[in-house]
Structure 1
Amino acid sequence: MKKSIVLALTILISISGFSQDLDLGLKIGANFANVSDLKDSSSKTGFHAGAFVGAKLSDKIGIQGDLLYSQQGSKIKGSEFELTYVNVPVVLKYYLVQGLNVQLGPQFGFIVDDKIKTVIGTIEAEAKAESFDLSGVAGLGLDLPFGLRIDGRYNFGLSEVIKGEDGKNTVVSVSVGYSFL
């Protein structure tokens, strides 16, 4: 896990060295998460926080990588489905107009903690989440004056949360950030 995170950040920093504009900062926001294919489930609200590094490669194209602590999961009556990840999204940014960008790319998630428990009558069952999660990311971002950033993203799971089950992570996230550069 640590090697993958270090590799992703090394690549991003290397790319940034050749770029016109470097972006480095912190972000925090809300997650509205669920796991697909779960009966009677609803969105679970959590938060995410971390750092980002990015580079504007041209007037229209940029790249950004984040390192985020992220609370995810799902609400199910009579059950616990809490997932905590360290997520590393790497998005390509296409600037439509000054500051407004469309974001698309992969996200690599590493489970930090999971609580998956179901109670049916007197029977209690527990499960463990997969240690790695692969998702796709699509979103919109707005780079504002004075280093402020606003992002809205949809993360759609490509891998199973629990081995052998069809459920995948789905997360809508909204975040604010501040770039130091």
Structure 2
Amino acid sequence: MKIKGPLLIATAAVIALSIPIVALAGSNASITITMSGPSVAIDIEVTPAEWQIEAVGLNSSYLKDFTLVNRGSVRVDTTIMGTNAEGTGYRWELGTFPGYNQYEIEYDIEGFGGTGNVTTTPTSFVQDLNKNQSERFSLTVKTPTSGSSPGAGESIQATVTIHAVQG
């Protein structure tokens, strides 16, 4: 009968340990929570969107005013870049000063915005433009000092691109 005592104690211990395990058995359910940031819309507008210079000549300057407006939902920083000017039989390289078949585009941001040259690589332009805010600027095209120039009925064309990213 000595074995009965330890056997009863061992059996009682097994039952005592089994009860919490049985109480924990069950099923789980989970909730997936998806969190998204606010909607971001980057949208800028430049007016006017086109500029036609009539009767362009060599060694001349042409100035035009523009307005840049942030129509998006966030503050933006912008860059500006231009292209070489091309036409039928003509090509002017965009440079930092006029020369032989090389023309220049300068920008001037109103107020304390600064001035600079438009180049074929993106250059920092208007920074910290808040939504619904506008900024006035001018562009000056300086034609080549010498080289080829479009004649009557001919044209040469270049593009200036302003790119915006969230600031």
Q: How does the TM-score come out when normalised to structure 2?
A: 0.28
The structure whose Rg is larger is 2
Instruction: Considering fraction of residues, name the structure with more strand.
Output: 1
Of structures 1 and 2, the one scoring higher in RCO (CA 8 A, sep 6+) is 2
